[in-house]
Structure formats: C-alpha cells, structure tokens
Amino acid sequence: MQRVQFGQELESVIATQRSSGHLSDVPYLVSEIITWLENFGLEEKGVFKLNGTTGNVNAIKSAFEQGTWRSANYRTAEDTHNMVAVLKIFLRQLPNALIPAALYTLVLQAMKHSTDANQVLDLRILVHLLPKGHKDTLLYLLNFLHRLLSKKDKTNMDAKALAASISTTIIRPTPSNPTDKEIYIEHDTYGVNLAAQRLIEEAPFLNKQIPHPTLPLTSARSSCIQAKALYPYAGGQWLLALTKDEIVTVIDIKNEEGWLRGQNARKEDGYFPTSYVQLAALPATPANVPRLPLPPCTQATPASADDEDDDEDSKHGLKTMKRSIRQMQQQLSVSSFNVPSPVLSHPPALPDDLSSSSSPAALPPPPVDDLPPPPPLDASFELPPLPNDIPPLPVDYGDLPP
C-alpha cells in the first residue's frame, strides 16, 4: 500500500508515489478520498463544511501515513466529514498551494473583470500554466466539486458555500514556509472566494471538456494577464514575434499545451510558445502597506470636464489614491512565476472554440529544444513609472459587502 507524505512539496509527493507504482499525477490520498466521497458522501448534509471528529480524523491520517488505509473500513455518515477533513489537511500542508502564491495577485485581478466570461477565461489560462501536478490535482478536485453541485438539494452546499469551504485551501497568498525574500500578502477573502466559486462552476470549461457559451473569442477581449518574453522569437503567419523582455497581454490558451495567444503593445495578435515567456504578476500588497481595491481590468477612462467640477472631497480622495499607488510602486517589486516548458510529440491543433475562417488549422510544434534555463523564481522586472497626470481610476466594488 502507498504511504502518504504530509507537508511535502506536491512534486515530491508525486515522485515518491510513482517510485512505488502509483503512476498518476494526482496524489494517492486525493484520488482515494474523492473516490470514497463519490461512493458514500455525495448526499451528506454539510459536506465540506462540517468538521470531523479529531480522534477519527487523526486515525485516518495515520492510516494513510503508515500505508494501512482501507476504504472498506469506513462507511458511516460521520466518516464523510472525517474524510473531507483529512483531504483539507493534506492540501493545506502543501508548502505551495495548488494555485501557488506567485499567482495570487493575478487570480484576484482576474476577478475584477466586469463579465463572468472574462473572469473564467483568465482563470483557465492561469490553471493551464500551472506545473502539471498542480494542474492535474486542481482539475481533479474541481471536477468532483462540480459534480457535487448536482446534489445541493441534499447537501445544502451550492457553489458559493463550497467555495467558501475550500477557497483558502487551494489559493493562499504566501507559501506555508515563506523565505526571508518573500513578503506576506494580505488575504482577500472576498476575491479568493469568488475565484473558487468560478473555478467550481466552470470546471468542465476549465478542463476543456466544453466550450463556454458566452466567451469572447476576439483579441479585443479584456485580459489582466501579462507575460514577459524570456527569449526573442521570430514569429510568422499566425505567430506573434517577440523581442527579449517585451511585455505582451495573454488573451487565450490553446487546447493542447505549449501555445499561448497574445497581443503586444502595437495591437499585433498571434500565438507564441509558452516556454518563451514568464508570467508577470502584479505587485503584491504586504500587510504593512495600506491596501487599495484593485481597479477593474478595463482601461481607465480619462476625466471629463464635468468630472473636474466635482467637490473638493472627491479631488482629495483621488490625490490620496494617486499618492498611495506611487508609494506602493516604489516599495514593491513585481514577482514572477516560471511557466513550465512542455514538450509536444505532435503539432497541436487549433481548438474548436477558437476556430474561425481566418484561423490556422494547425500550428507547428513550439520550439522548446536547446533553450537556456529560465531565470529563478524571484526574477523581476520594473513597471514603467506612473505619469504625473493620472486619470481617475474607476473602482468597481461589484458585490462587495458593505
């Protein structure tokens, strides 16, 4: 039987279980508990919300650690909550969450889109740029939670309730054991819960099983995700040329791994290899810096003549926000997250949800051979300085509670 490691990096857990014959990229404990819940816990009231019994939870955890776990030993309703508790403990003790801390600010920024479709498309890009073990485990969990929604009349757990119970388990602002170089980021409960809700509701689309009915398919769509080119890329028909250190906006990801679709500052649109870029995260907000609401992803609208006649309080508030942004920009550096370099054995085909009369039928394999190693995880680049005359930022509070 498999012995499960708690508190280890996910890659280490998967490598260990592969050496003992379990070849999945989903941890053994995760697949075993979700299989058990599929069989015995789908209709339990308050599943993923109610706590288990400490003694029984510890007993199940020890059984996994010692390799004595047998699903047949557990059949009661109380076992459902104990199983969920062990699953949460395993995921919470991962040094890096399923969605790593380096992507935390990008996840929150994606939630500032004005449309659900743009929120979900940004999330799909981020999910499929995760390391394989993180991506496969996250999608495996999300698919189960999506199926659980069909039993919400019996479990009393809709998407919002499930998201609130699992969000901080899969999305954390800092690693479990941050180094001295990593800053502590203030946790945004509302933004993280909303992101988890979207992930659960749209799991089949995120897993590329179905197209999204309202997805904007043109390059004009708004995106909060930017990438920095690590190497020059010549481009070509349907392909976007890159210069080293160029910043491009990522607007979509192909069904097959290895290609992103993006737009540069000159509004040129095309595909480029995932292995040639590095995601660029927004500056993170440490706990000792006053936190401002993230502006929506849409471009700021210049102030009109009527806006200039607003009362003095509004002008003072805008000046305060400008000053705070400048202070934050001076104090914080831009974090980065290395994108894995996938190797394809065949040319990827354009997915159905991106096909059009003007799109290519196929792209060549992404050039991933003989590339120099990517920079370390703490590599960063400077954001351009803010102009002296900043137009008002339209802050969209959405459904934030008062």
Q: Give per-residue pLDDT as tens, 385-399.
A: 444 554 444 444 445
Q: pLDDT tens, 128-145? A: 889 889 999 999 999 999
Q: What is the pLDDT of residue 382?
A: 44
Mean pLDDT of 54-62: 95
pLDDT > 60? residue 334: no
| Selected residue with higher pLDDT from 45 and 350 | 45
Confidence of residue 210 (pLDDT cuts 50, 70, 90): low
Torsion sign (Cα): 392, 395, 396, 402: negative
Q: Which amino acid is at 274?
A: T
pLDDT at residue number 225: 87
Answer for the pair 166, 37: CB distance below 8 angstroms, yes or no.
no
Q: What is the pLDDT of residue 238?
A: 87
Q: What is the DSSP string of 293-318?
A: PPPPSSPPPPP-TTGGGS-HHHHHHH
Least confident of 60-64, 203-207, 365-369: 365-369
Asked which of 76-90, 278-292, 337-351, 352-366 is least confident by mean pLDDT, the reply is 337-351
- The average confidence (pLDDT) of the chain is 75
CB-CB contact of 334 with 283 (8 Å): yes
pLDDT for position 319:
58
| Percent of the chain predicted with pLDDT > 90 | 41
pLDDT of 148 higher than 60: yes
Q: Stretch 317-342: mean pLDDT, rounded?
A: 48
Looking at mean pLDDT, say which of 172-176, 297-301, 345-349 comes out highest. 172-176
CA-based nearest residue to 74, from 42, 45, 47, 37: 37
In 3D space, the residue among 218, 202, 200 whose CA is nearest the CA of residue 210 turns out to be 202
Residue scoring higher pLDDT (112 or 378):
112
Instruction: Look at residue 170 and tell me whether its pLDDT is greater than 90.
Output: yes
Q: How far apart are CA 392 and CA 318, in angstroms?
A: 7
Confidence of residue 177 (pLDDT cuts 50, 70, 90): low
Interatomic CA distance for residues 133 and 287, integer angstroms? 30
pLDDT value of residue 240: 93
In the chain, % of residues over pLDDT 70: 62
Does 149 score more than 80 pLDDT? yes
Top-ranked range on mean pLDDT: pick from 287-301, 332-346, 353-367:
353-367
Closest CA to 39 of 80, 69, 2: 80
- Considering Cα of 342, then 344, then 347, then 349, what sign does the dihedral take? negative
319 or 61, which is more confident?
A: 61
Q: Is 386 exposed, middle or buried (0-12, 13-18, 19+ CB in 10 A)?
A: exposed
CA distance 129 to 132: 8
pLDDT at residue 66 is higher than 80 = yes
Q: Is the pLDDT of residue 365 over 90?
A: no
Residue 182 has pLDDT above 70, yes or no: no
d(C-alpha 169, C-alpha 399), whole Å:
23
Residue whose C-alpha is closest to residue 119's, from 248, 1, 226, 225 = 225
User: Where is average pLDDT lowest: 175-179, 239-243, 357-361?
Assistant: 357-361
Cα-based torsion angle of the residue sequence 297, 302, 307, 309 in order, rounded to the nearest 10 degrees: 140
Local structure of residue 115 (DSSP, 8 states)? S
Element (H, E) at 146: helix 132-148
> Is the pTM above the cut of 0.85?
no
- pLDDT-derived band of residue 326, with 50, 70 and 90 as boundaries? low
Task: Output the pLDDT for position 36.
Answer: 95
